[in-house]
A and B are shown apart, each in its own frame.
Chain A
Amino acid sequence: MTPTHTTPTAISEEWFTALAEAVHSDRETQVIGRYSDFWIGAVSPGNWQVALSFRISELVPAPWEDLPREHILISATQAGWEQIFDPQPKPLHHDLLALAKNSPDVTVSGSDVELVRNLRVIARLIDLGKALHAQH
């Protein structure tokens, strides 16, 4: 993926638009996400919140009001979001499930079933985010 000159360096609502572009051009996501349909609520308390719709291999940021009742909620401080997308993470902070256990800055909640049901695609989204973040 190639970040545009407008890609924000810090994780924010706008940053997820760049992630959506990366998802669109990622061959693996296009293959594994064809039948996926889920929502993530991404929150940085006191800073920003964004609803993310993943459907038919495409990630679409949406207004928070669009978030359906069944969704995965990832809430993290700004430091926590940096940990989630850290391309060179430290041990036991290297993965969303690891961070949910071990980082006080990251909370994963909402629907557990939605999380495990879509874990393969979510793991890929995070890998793409790490690659995007590594370019800054």
Chain B
Amino acid sequence: MPSTETPASSIENVVGRYINLRSSGRDQRIYFEEAGSGPVILCLHTAGADSRQFRHLLNDPDITSRFRVVAFDLPWHGRSLPPEGWWEEEYLLTTDAYVAIVRDFAAALNLKQPVVIGCSMAGSLVLELARRHADDTGAVIGLSGALKVNGRFQDWSLRPDVNAQQSVPTWTSSLMAPQSPEVSRREVWWIYSQGGPGIYRGDTYFYSQDLDLRGRGQEIDTEACPVYLLTGEYDHACTPADTADAIAEIPGAKGGPMKDIGHFPMAENYPLFKTYLLPILDELHPAEGSQDLNRPALEGTHHV
């Protein structure tokens, strides 16, 4: 029954579905969303969060008119359930399991040569993907990622006298730029408030403990798999200096700091992040009729 003042409504083109697959020897029911058509952009969310962080990218016709954008929730996150037996184990994400689930998901959907965009822990994970599997990864774009990020793995969120539903999102909100739109910063907070107990901590085990690519940057073949690394200048978890170290160590890697933005660029200020993303996508997959095919993305300082 419509009200007298019918509200404006719209149905987004984003479609959500589930896929059942096995990964690391366990059955997984994975939730994913997608929109658009063309070369695949595979989006990987941050620690303790879910694929809603990419809703702006999924809804951007400038992107979806050229690319098939796919974002999924890791097991234990968002609408993907934890595997059977989760109640008897401590959740600690390992590099091997993380690489496996990304590749198993891509294989299950038959995603060929995806451009993989990952943020935060996934911004570092994409470097390991490029190192191990350059042949079947189209390119990687790491946001807030580095060869090693220290200090994020802490136990306090498991304490029964700490309300992690409030403290974890506030802890991570600290990493955003204050000038990012308030409604977006609050949305990042909200998504974090919905993480399961110990999941943010378990993800940071990968981010700050298990993965250490220092001294291994030379093993990444950027001719086979181009690498772009972008980090917001307000990010004090993975600082622009951390990312600069990675770029310096990986031959052929491109990128640098993003001005006026923090740790969650695609979620906290998508319009600004888009100005950094589009030149990279144009370089990887030039748009039809592009007048600027020879312009290198992110050469020099940071912003094209």
Contact = CB atoms under 8 A, between A and B. Distances in A.
Do A and B form a real pair? yes
Interface of A: 32, 89, 91-92, 94-98, 101-102, 112-113, 116-117, 119-120, 123
B171 A98 contact: no
Contacts of B171: 97, 116, 119
B234 A120 contact: no
Interface in B131-167: 156-157, 159, 161-163, 166-167
A70 to B, nearest CB: 12
Q: Determine the main DSSP class of A at the interface with B.
A: helix
Contacts of B161: 113, 117
Contacts of B169: 120
A94 B236 CA distance: 10
A116 B236 contact: no
Given A98-B236, A123-B173, A116 B178 contact: no
Highest count of chain B CB atoms <10 Å: which of A32, A95, A96: A95
Interface of B: 156-157, 159, 161-163, 166-167, 169-171, 173-174, 177-178, 233-234, 236, 239
Contact of B170 (A98, A102, A112, A123): A123
22 contacts: A32-B166, A89-B178, A91-B233, A92-B234, A92-B236, A94-B177, A95-B178, A95-B236, A97-B171, A97-B236, A112-B156, A116-B157, A116-B162, A117-B162, A117-B163, A119-B167, A119-B170, A120-B166, A120-B169, A120-B170, A123-B170, A123-B174
A96 B170 CA distance: 11
B234 A91 contact: yes
A113 B166 CA distance: 13
A97 B167 contact: no
Highest count of chain B CB atoms <10 Å: which of A94, A98, A112: A94
A97 B169 CA distance: 13
A67 to B, nearest CB: 20
Nearest to A95: B174
B288 to A, nearest CB: 38
Contacts of B233: 91-92
B178 to A, nearest CB: 5
Contacts of A119: 166-167, 170-171
Contacts of B236: 92, 95, 97-98, 101-102
Contact of B167 (A92, A95, A116): A116
Closest 3 CB pairs of A and B: A91-B233, A97-B174, A98-B236
